[in-house]
Homo-oligomer: A and B are copies of this chain.
Amino acid sequence: MWHDGRVTTTPDLRAAVGQATTAPGDAGLARRQSGARAVYDLLRGRIIDGSLAPDARLTEPVLSAELGVSRTPVREALRLLQAEALVVELPTGGVRVAPLDVADARRVYDVRARLEGLLARDACERATPDDVARLVRLVTLMDAVRDHEDEVLRVGAQFHGEIEALADNRWGSALLRQIRGHVDRYRALAARRRVGTTDHVDEHRAVADAIASRDPAAAEAAMRAHIERSAALAEQSLRGVGSATDDLP
């Protein structure tokens, strides 16, 4: 499955398009689920989880046929993915799934560290006492579930989401969203080979404490340090998985 260039197993693709991943939380946006969006969501998920292999060529006609839509929405979805750099343009004009360059993962995390650091700073400058209390509560909760890694991850995501919401920084959020797909992709790749873990609880607590102390610079530094430790861990986990991405010449 990993090396197969096409959409394998063909499971309810046509069903997925037209309904797509309708997250229950999106109650606010009553968007007309344009088929292009559905195709985009589908392909994006498959690229991130690896069922669409790196370097796999994606052509509009075969995607059209397999998904049961015309080329138009497929084309639009591919352009969206291209803007997100999840697919790269071939010299001839087509696209292929972006290669997995493990060395580049570091770069993704570097950028993420700066952006999330900025958001932490902004959050610190805007947080009300109630907000601070909520962050502290999340850290306490994380501590309580610290033995269940997936729970820790879930609470962690919630923590970061809270920071992002507090920051209310449109540009920071937009750019973070731009690279989130790649972060998730590397994370999915490293998931199988986790070699260790940092102390998520303490690192998050450091961020929360800095915000509680109303020290924006400290908040930024703590968040940045946290992401950079995550980066080091991911890098360590990824080292050696190159054997699973034998696509580069």
Chain A residues close to B by CB (< 8 Å)? 32, 75-76, 79-80, 83-85, 93, 104, 107-108, 110-111, 114-115, 117-118, 122, 169-172, 174-175, 178-179, 182
Contact = CB atoms under 8 A, between A and B. Distances in A.
A172 B110 contact: yes
Contacts of A117: 114
Please tell me how many copies of the chain the complex holds: 2
A178 B115 CA distance: 14
A93 B172 contact: no
Contacts of A182: 171
A22 B122 CA distance: 40
A169 B111 CA distance: 9
A171 B80 contact: no
Nearest to A118: B114
A171 to B, nearest CB: 5
Nearest to A168: B107
A122 B107 CA distance: 10
A95 B208 CA distance: 39
